[in-house]
C-alpha cells in the first residue's frame, strides 16, 4: 500500500512503528558500503589502468566488500537489483609536479570495463600542472545480479602516479 497524499496528519509514537515503515513504505538501501585508502599508494605505472586498493571500510552493511585482497564489492545472494555505484579519487604525479593532461576513474563489473569518467586538457596542455589536487569522480546506476562484483580503477595517461588517501573514497548502495 502506498501513500498517495496526506491532507492533514498527526503522528504520535502510538500510531507509527518501525514495522509499519519497514513493510514497504521506505526502502532500506542495503547492501551499502563506503571504502577508502588507509594511506597513499605510491609508484603506480603511468599510462596503465590500475585497481585502487581501498582497504578501509567506513561501513559495509552486508559484509560484501573484500578490503583485504580483491578490493571488490560482491552482490550478496538475494540482493539483486538496481544499485548506485560511485568513486571519488585523488591522484598525484609520483614526482609531485602534477604535469598531467588526462586522468580517468573507471568502474569494472565482473572483471570487465563498464564505465568511466575522464578529465582531459585541450591539446595535451597540462591543466593539472603545479602541485594541484587532481580529483576524478563519478557515479552511475547499474543493474546487478547476485554474485556480480564491482571494482574501481584509475589511470593517469602520462607519468607514474600515486593514489592519495586524502579525500578519496568509493562505494555504493542498493536503490531497488
pLDDT in tens, 92-106: 777 765 556 678 899
Q: Which of 160, 158, 170, 171 is nearest to 41 (CA)?
A: 160
Enumerate the β-bridge partners of residue 141: 84
Has residue 36 been placed in a domain? yes
In a domain, 20, yes or no: no
Whether the predicted pLDDT of 12 surpasses 60: no
Q: What is the pLDDT of residue 91?
A: 82
Is residue 160 in a domain? yes
Residue 107 backbone phi and psi in degrees, to 5: -115, 130
The answer to the question of residue 14 being in a domain is no
Question: Is residue 22 assigned to a domain?
Answer: no
Cβ contacts of 55 within 8 Å, gap of 6 or more: 35, 37, 38, 67, 68, 71
CA nearest to 160, candidates 85, 53, 57, 48: 48
Check residue 52 and give its pLDDT: 97
Calpha distance 50→136 (Å, rounded): 14
Residue 33 is part of a domain; what is its CATH number?
2.60.120.40
Distance (Å, whole) CA 119 – CA 166: 19
pLDDT value of position 100: 61
Residue 48 included in any domain:
yes
Please compute the mean of the pLDDT values over residues 150-163 and round it to a whole number. 86
Provide the grid cell at 134.
587532481
Helix, strand, or coil (residue 91): strand
Residue 123: strand, helix, or coil: helix
Tell me which residue range forms the domain holding 38: 28-174
31-47 exposure pattern, b = at least 16 Cβ within 10 A, e = fewer: bbbbbbbeeebeebeee
Q: For 13-17, 72-76, 170-174, which range has the lowest pLDDT when averaged over its residues?
A: 13-17
pLDDT tens per residue across span 104-136: 899 999 999 999 998 776 665 555 555 556 788
16 within some domain: no
Is 6 domain-assigned?
Answer: no
Considering its fold, how many domains does the chain have in total? 1
Amino acid at each position: 500500500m502506498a501513500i498517495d497524499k496526506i491532507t492533514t496528519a498527526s503522528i504520535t509514537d502510538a500510531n507509527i512503528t518501525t514495522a509499519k515503515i519497514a513493510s514497504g513504505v521506505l526502502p532500506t538501501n542495503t547492501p551499502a558500503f563506503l571504502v577508502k585508502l588507509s594511506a597513499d599508494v605510491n609508484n603506480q605505472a603511468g599510462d596503465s589502468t590500475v585497481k585502487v586498493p581501498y582497504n578501509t571500510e567506513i561501513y559495509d552493511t552486508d559484509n560484501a566488500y573484500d578490503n583485504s585482497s580483491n578490493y571488490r564489492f560482491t552482490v550478496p545472494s538475494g540482493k539483486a537489483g538496481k544499485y548506485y555505484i560511485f568513486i571519488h579519487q585523488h591522484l598525484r604525479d609520483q614526482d609531485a609536479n602534477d604535469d598531467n593532461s588526462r586522468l580517468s576513474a573507471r568502474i569494472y563489473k565482473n572483471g570487465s570495463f563498464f564505465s568511466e569518467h575522464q578529465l582531459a586538457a585541450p591539446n595535451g596542455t597540462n591543466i593539472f600542472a603545479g602541485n594541484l589536487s587532481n580529483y576524478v569522480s563519478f557515479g552511475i546506476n547499474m543493474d546487478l545480479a547476485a554474485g556480480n562484483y564491482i571494482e574501481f580503477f584509475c589511470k593517469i595517461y602520462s607519468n607514474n602516479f600515486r593514489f592519495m588517501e586524502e579525500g578519496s573514497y568509493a562505494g555504493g548502495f542498493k536503490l531497488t
